[in-house]
Structure 1
Amino acid sequence: MSTDQAGSPREHCIVRAVIRRLLSAFLVVWATATIVFFALRAAGDPIEAIMGGPGSQASVEATAQARAEYGLDRSIFVQYVTQLWRIATLDFGDSYSRKQPVIDLLSAHVPPTLLLASLSFVLAWALALVSVVIAVNARGRFGGMIRALLTAIETIASVTPQFFLGALLIMGFAMTWKVLPATGTGPGGLILPTVTLAVPIAGYLAHVLYGPLAEATHAPYAMTARARGASETRVLFSHTLRHAALPAIALSGWAYGSLLSGAVVVEVLFARPGLGRLLQEAATVRDLPVVIGGVVVIALFYVAVMVLADVAEWLVRPKEVRA
């Protein structure tokens, strides 16, 4: 059978990578759900959330009825297996505290978080690319100083906690200068949370990008392209950036997952509606179905983004180095 009929080795490579990622999704979701289930059960009895929280003064009969209704009168193993079955069928049950189907709560709270994480992801990449391109192309007398300054900024950005950066932005832009709102669901209310999430990831991506791009700038294929009359802009976008971006693209799945988890802190800090605030409130009252549903959704999105990152890396990789 010919290569055209059977498919090229390169196509087989990306198909195998996607299959491996999809198979790993099962383990990721199972491990995540298991850890959350036993951690919340160890933190206390969820019957308090069902009965209205501490101090509800529910009668013994009402408490017993609620335990039977939600299956909390069964053994912990039976409850665990039941929870896994619900996850497999995407039926997370009803919220203990809100008395609503968990799937409805997730449908309402996931889109704002995905929007925030996606905008932050795009901004992080843009900031990283601008910083690295400036640093690599810095020439002349102040070239070394510019590179050192940008490297210092990238390092500080990558290690700055998001809650600390968010608090600084609120104090500066919302309280002192009053040019941007600290809260709100409109476009203006997205700016500070997006910057808060994007800056640390941008610093990390810039560190990953700088070395490969600096090497690619002086690589033989770049020198050949210049000798053929290609402009520096064309060399950058057609040759050097494609090679240099591969490590950062490979880490994009991790970066997006980090943005989703960081949204928990940022949404609480900026009082934004979203999955982060929903999980924070649910964890406080030990609302097990909501917490498990939320973390499973985050895990699924994380795996999906990892698959997309693998595909993107393969597509961007120059043909001569594809495996």
Structure 2
Amino acid sequence: MRTYLLRRLLQAVFVLWAAYTVSFGVLYMLPSDPATIMAAGGGDASTVTPEQTAALRHQYGLDRPLAEQYGTRLLHAVHGDLGRSVQSGVPVTRMISQALPTTLQLAAAALLLSVLLGGAVALLASWTRYGPLRQLLLSLPSLGVSAPTFWVGLVLVQLFSFRWHVFPAFGDQGFDALVLPSVTLALPGAALIAQVFAKGLRTALAEPYVQTALAKGAGRGRVLFGHAVRNASAAPLTLVGIMVGNLLAGAVVVETVFARAGIGRETAAAVTAQDIPVVQGVVVLGAVAFVLTTLAVDLLLPLIDPRITTTARRAVPA
């Protein structure tokens, strides 16, 4: 178990370093000049003099060699300093910490809904013996995956806000304002969970031990919930860890559609203004969320299937 945990921790550190390095390389290859954007203050860049640009470039170390900039920024990032916004001059960590609670609330609600909806569809499809209902339930995940998030959000706003006046269309105050955005963000994840979980349940229900239990008189519900669910949970649980990054990416669209404050709107504004430190800070945040979630999943998986740690020990050379 110790070797298994050590390998996962080393992988987590590598993922964080790779995310920071790749984002640094991609963002700094953009044709824009952060010093010019900063000097313009969001206004017309043609009014900025070369002297102003040179002074800001020297002040923020942008005139140093790229390798030196990378090493300095990486060292600062390790100590929690992600730089300052090019537009506002506010520290990126402060901007993220102020916008993060609203996005975390949305992501947590969407993740919970994804698990509940996806799990319910998969369990009902595996439990029912009515063929048409099973086929209908198994076709829902494909529809959920193919529907664009922004389209789902606009349809929900049109129906539940403008036509039926059940939930507010915009804003982030109160529980009512959270319902439509969380449902919009949850549907693609719920579809994926339903697909993977339903396939795992079908495989588990076809195992010889299940057929033996049914032959001995065990009820279908007891076999499904007592045996098949646990054996089919490893793949959906792993998928949940991967989904966290997708939820943060989806929050950009959802928060824009529903006019919610949060990381998504900060990211959209930073991309539009080519605010490199903010964009890189959001990329690092997504990597941290992905690493923490997958690490938690890696710790839970051996509890569901102890064979995982056995396989990990066999994979380590003697």
Q: Which amino acid aligns with 1:98?
A: S
Aligned counterpart for 1:133 among listed residues 120, 123, 131: 123
2:94 counterpart SS class: helix
Residue identity over aligned pairs, in percent, reads 38
The match for 2:112 is 122
Give matches, 1:208-227, under 5 Å: 208-222=196-210
Q: Which runs of 5+ in 1 are unaligned?
A: 1-11
Please give the TM-score of this superposition, normalised by the length of structure 2.
Answer: 0.88
Contact 2:127/2:224 (<8 A) preserved: no
Match status 1:310 vs 2:298: yes
Change (3 A) 1:195 1:275: same
- Residues in 1 aligned to 2:216 and 2:307: alpha-carbon distance in whole angstroms: 20
Change (3 A) 1:157 1:66: same
| Cα RMSD, aligned residues only | 2.2
Aligned counterpart for 1:162 among listed residues 145, 149, 166: 149
- Residues in 2 aligned to 1:297 and 1:255: alpha-carbon distance in whole angstroms: 14
Q: Which amino acid aligns with 1:160?
A: A
Contact 1:166/1:269 (<8 A) preserved: yes
Deviations 1:255-275 (A, max 9, x none): 222112211221122111111
Query: Offset of 1:233 from its aligned partner?
Result: 4.3
- Residues in 1 aligned to 2:273 and 2:224: alpha-carbon distance in whole angstroms: 52
- Residues in 1 aligned to 2:104 and 2:209: alpha-carbon distance in whole angstroms: 39
User: Which one has more relative contact order, counting CA pairs under 8 Å at least 6 apart?
Assistant: 1
Match status 1:280 vs 2:268: yes
Q: Which amino acid aligns with 1:55?
A: D
1:292 counterpart SS class: helix
Change (3 A) 1:220 1:321: farther
The match for 2:176 is 188
Match status 1:58 vs 2:45: no
The match for 2:23 is 36
Query: Offset of 1:309 from its aligned partner?
Result: 1.1
Query: Offset of 1:287 from its aligned partner?
Result: 1.6
Query: Offset of 1:246 from its aligned partner?
Result: 1.5
Change (3 A) 1:72 1:119: same
- Residues in 2 aligned to 1:148 and 1:226: alpha-carbon distance in whole angstroms: 23
Query: Offset of 1:60 from its aligned partner?
Result: 3.3
Deviates more, 1:26-35 or 1:100-109: 26-35
The match for 1:24 is 11
